[in-house]
Amino acid sequence: MTSFVVKRVGAALGIVVVLTFVMFFLQRISHTDPVHAMLGAGASPAAVRAEAHRLGLDRPLVDQYFSYLKGLTHLDFGTSYRLREPVSTALATYFPATMELTAYSLLFALVIALILGVGGAGKWKGAGVFRAIMLPAACIPPFLLAMFGKIVFYEHLNLLPAAGRISSSVANPPTGPTGFLTIDGLIAGKPNVTIDAFIHLLLPALCIALIPAISIGRILRSSIEQTMQMDHVRTARAKGLKERSVLLKHALRNSVGPALSMAGLQLGLMFAGVVVIEIMFNWPGVGWFLAQSIPQGDFPAIAGVTLVLSITYVAINAAVDVLQAVADPRIRV
């Protein structure tokens, strides 16, 4: 088991190093002048040179790369050209918002998946409806869902907000300790913050959650249907238990393993998909930060966000691999 974990972690680190290499050299060999863009049209060549020197951009490329890697070991992602502050500071500001949105998206995905998986697995009359919902729902891209949600729930029904993380009318929202406004509001004794933050994340979180929910729900349904054919389920039926009790007490628990594995993989994908939703809902997370940084050629910011999202994705996948190996020793083979 130890060697398996070491191999997985080593592979994850290798992926991250390769990623930094590709990102770094692609940016450096591209036809851009981020320093001139950062200073503006009127900046004199001398001013551009001085700023480039200050940022270390006039050093040899390989030297710059190893300095960058060395900085990463101290969580130093460099200085944002746009914000003029360390990228790590910006990430500390934006990442909790992404984490909170993703966490709720996962929760919503699990709840929806459970409903769809269990509802679609039984032999009751409504099961077909659940199965019919899953196929078309899986085809709706999140950005379309976001547009639909904004038009229906904000523009027409006026039920849910369509932008931001909290209303500006909420005075002094807490800034810690978790970075999750829904939790920090409770800790600080400000339930209005929790409620307002929860309402703000409903639409974006549901938009992110839908497709993963379908994927997890389908796996769960298949797994339940297989389990329902097994001997212990037949025995439970023979004992005279109602079909609902058989499903929930004897089949469901034995069927959630594959679905949870899928949930782990979907969580990684959620971090990738969150970028589009954050832009559409003006959600101040790392995806939104990334979207503002790209047009400015703010490489340290772009690389910082990419690395953090990539590391999160790789770490989640590695964790899923390890957990699967713990649950099923055959996987190590």
Partner 1 sequence: MRKYGGIIQKNRGTSHCFGEQNRAKSHVPSNWRSVASFALVGIALMASACSNGSGGSSGNSSATIPGSTSHTLNIAFTEDTQPLDPDVYYAGSGNIAIQAMYEGLVQYVKQPLTYTKDATFTPPSSRTQIIPDLASSWTTSPDGLTYTFTLRTGVTFHDGTPFNSEAMKEDFTRRTEVNGGPAYMLADVSSVDTPDPQTFVVHLSKANNAFMDYLASTYGPKAISPAVLNAHGGNDFAQKYLTTHDGGTGPYMMTKGVSGQEYVLSSYSGYWDPTVKPWYSTVNIHIIPDIGTQQLELEKGQLSMILNGLTTQAIQSFNSNSSLHTYSVPTLVTPAVWVNPSTPVFSSKKVRQDFDAAIDKKTIVDDIFPGRAVVANQIFPSGELPAGSAMQDPTYDPSKFAKDVSAFSGSKAIILGYDQADPADLPVADLMQTELAAAGLQVTVKGYTDTVLYGFPTNPKGAPDLLVDSNWPDAQAPDTWARIVMYTPSPTGVAGGLNYLGCSDPAGDSLLDQALAATDPSQAQTLVAQAGEEYASYGCWDVIAYRGDTVVAPSWMSGLVHQVPIPDAVVLADLKPVG
Binding site for partner 1 (CB under 8 A): 30-34, 36-47, 50-51, 82-85, 90, 93, 107, 111, 114-115, 118, 150, 154-156, 158-170, 192, 194-196, 198-200, 202, 244-245, 248, 279-280, 282, 284, 289, 291-292, 294-297
Minimum distance from residue 195 beta carbon to partner 1 (Å) = 5
Q: Tokens representing 240?
A: 């005279």
Indicate the residue among 192 and 324 with the shorter CB distance to partner 1.
192
Note whether 149 and 206 are within 8 A (CB): yes
Q: CB-based burial of residue 290 (10 Å sphere; 0-12 exposed, 13-18 middle, 19+ buried)?
A: buried
Indicate the residue among 254 and 296 with the shorter CB distance to partner 1.
296
Task: Specify the 3-state DSSP secondary structure of 86.
Answer: strand
Minimum distance from residue 221 beta carbon to partner 1 (Å) = 14
- φ/ψ (deg, to 5) at 86: -55, 140
Indicate the residue among 82 and 218 with the shorter CB distance to partner 1.
82
What span, in angstroms and rounded, lies between the C-alpha atoms of 171 and 193? 9
Minimum distance from residue 225 beta carbon to partner 1 (Å) = 18
Q: Tokens representing 132?
A: 């019919």
Indicate the residue among 74 and 156 with the shorter CB distance to partner 1.
156
Indicate the residue among 196 and 321 with the shorter CB distance to partner 1.
196
Sign of the Cα pseudo-torsion (220, 224, 227, 229, in order) = negative
Minimum distance from residue 182 beta carbon to partner 1 (Å) = 9
Indicate the residue among 210 and 318 with the shorter CB distance to partner 1.
210
Indicate the residue among 7 and 244 with the shorter CB distance to partner 1.
244
Minimum distance from residue 300 beta carbon to partner 1 (Å) = 13
Distances (CA, A) of 31 to 34, 43, 66, 122, 297: 10, 19, 22, 59, 11
Minimum distance from residue 50 beta carbon to partner 1 (Å) = 6
The residue type found at 122 is G
Indicate the residue among 69 and 294 with the shorter CB distance to partner 1.
294
Note whether 311 and 326 are within 8 A (CB): no
Minimum distance from residue 114 beta carbon to partner 1 (Å) = 6
Those residues whose C-beta lies under 8 Å from the C-beta of residue 298, and which sit 6 or more positions away, are: 34, 80, 81, 82, 83
What is the residue whose two structure tokens read 């929760």?
Answer: 107
Q: Give me the residues paired with residue 86 across strands.
A: 79
Minimum distance from residue 259 beta carbon to partner 1 (Å) = 14
Note whether 285 and 293 are within 8 A (CB): no
Q: Give me the residues paired with residue 79 across strands.
A: 86
How does DSSP assign 48-79, residue by residue?
HHHHHHHTTTTS-HHHHHHHHHHHHHTT---B
What span, in angstroms and rounded, lies between the C-alpha atoms of 231 and 91? 52
